[in-house]
């Protein structure tokens, strides 16, 4: 067989053009229970991690123009609502997600909570439908590991940011503490798929989530990828011993 570009899908390598469809299917299945499952899987920690991202972003509460943020892969609106809230309504967040089911959940929530300033677009992180230099900040929380070509998504992030615009990425990462890494491994490989079976009635989707976390580049390797995309002042902060990491960079 001729060599085809491949991407990781959990522990399996799949053809690059197949990965997106497989990821789509996982998120169509889990959309309604996604945030609930995040609560259970991370024992509520994902809320603290998202708060850490929004605190680091520190969106301004006033200014001549609205503070423009694009939140990629944020379909259910969880991060977008926090940003609007923290900015006292001064931030306008465009949520881009490739998955229609996740966006549907987000839009229903925005309407139910009467949140203004958040708009939803179905789009691919590798081919964003936005003009260059439009946004003050690009955020992505627990989304980038699901993108088939991470380097392409990072280049798009760079493109849509204004000069001075900031990139903030929250993602599961590598636990680097002894003992804790073993405990985390046992938890993630056994407990999370079991929870997925009981709560979302979908063990396979959650097994994919766990495996994709373990395949994702560690803190230093991901930092190097962000620098390669053109960002300056790239750094990261470990959260909860490195279970998650917040990477940041600036477009100069």
Partner 1 sequence: MSLPPSLGNRQAGAIDPKLLEILVCPLTKTTLEWRSDRQELISRSARLAYPVRDGIPIMLPDEARSLGDDE
**Given the rule CB under 8 A, which residues bind partner 1?**
92, 94, 98, 100, 103-104, 107, 119-124, 127-132, 134
User: Rounded to the nearest whole angstrom, what is the least distance from the CB of residue 25 to partner 1 in the complex?
Assistant: 15
The neighbour count for residue 129, using CB atoms within 10 Å, is: 10
User: Rounded to the nearest whole angstrom, what is the least distance from the CB of residue 16 to partner 1 in the complex?
Assistant: 15
User: Rounded to the nearest whole angstrom, what is the least distance from the CB of residue 46 to partner 1 in the complex?
Assistant: 25
Question: Which residue, 49 or 81, has its beta carbon nearer to partner 1?
Answer: 81
Q: What is the 3-state secondary structure (H, E, C) of 149-216?
A: CHHHHHHHHHHHEEEEEEEEEEEECCCCCCCHHHHHHHHHHHHHHHHHHHHCCCHHHHHHHHHHHHHC
User: Rounded to the nearest whole angstrom, what is the least distance from the CB of residue 248 to partner 1 in the complex?
Assistant: 23
Question: Which residue, 105 or 209, has its beta carbon nearer to partner 1?
Answer: 105
Question: Tokens 């609502």 map to which residue?
Answer: 81
Question: Which residue, 63 or 235, has its beta carbon nearer to partner 1?
Answer: 63
Measured CA distances, 65 to 55, 86, 213, 222 (Å): 21, 16, 38, 33
User: Rounded to the nearest whole angstrom, what is the least distance from the CB of residue 216 to partner 1 in the complex?
Assistant: 24
Question: Which residue, 23 or 239, has its beta carbon nearer to partner 1?
Answer: 23
The DSSP result for 29-84, as a single string, is HHGGGHHHHHHHHTTTHHHHHHHHHHHHH---S--SSPEEEEEET-TT-HHHHHHH
Question: Which residue, 3 or 116, has its beta carbon nearer to partner 1?
Answer: 116
């Amino acid at each position: 067989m001729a060599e085809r570009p491949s991407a990781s899908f959990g522990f399996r390598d799949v053809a690059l053009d197949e990965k997106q469809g497989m990821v789509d299917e996982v998120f169509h299945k889990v959309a309604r229970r996604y945030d609930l499952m995040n609560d259970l899987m991370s024992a509520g920690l994902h809320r603290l991690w998202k708060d850490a991202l929004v605190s680091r972003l520190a969106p301004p509460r006033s200014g001549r123009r609205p503070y423009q943020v694009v939140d990629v892969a944020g379909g259910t609106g969880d991060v977008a609502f926090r940003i609007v809230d923290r900015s006292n309504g001064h931030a306008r967040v465009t949520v881009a997600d490739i998955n229609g089911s996740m966006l549907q959940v987000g839009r229903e929530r925005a309407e139910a909570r009467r949140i203004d300033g958040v708009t939803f677009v179905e789009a691919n992180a590798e081919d964003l439908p936005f003009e260059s230099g439009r946004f003050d900040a690009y955020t992505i929380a627990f989304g980038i590991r699901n993108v088939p070509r991470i380097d392409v998504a990072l280049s798009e992030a760079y493109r849509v940011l204004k000069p001075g615009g900031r990139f903030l990425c929250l993602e599961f990462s590598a636990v680097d503490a002894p003992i804790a890494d073993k405990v985390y491994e046992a938890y993630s490989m056994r407990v999370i798929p079991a929870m997925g079976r009981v709560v979302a009635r979908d063990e396979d989707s959650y097994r994919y989530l766990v495996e994709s976390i373990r395949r994702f580049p560690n803190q230093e390797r991901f930092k190097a990828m962000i620098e390669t995309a053109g960002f300056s002042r790239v750094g990261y902060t470990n959260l909860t011993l490195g279970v998650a990491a917040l990477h940041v960079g600036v477009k100069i």
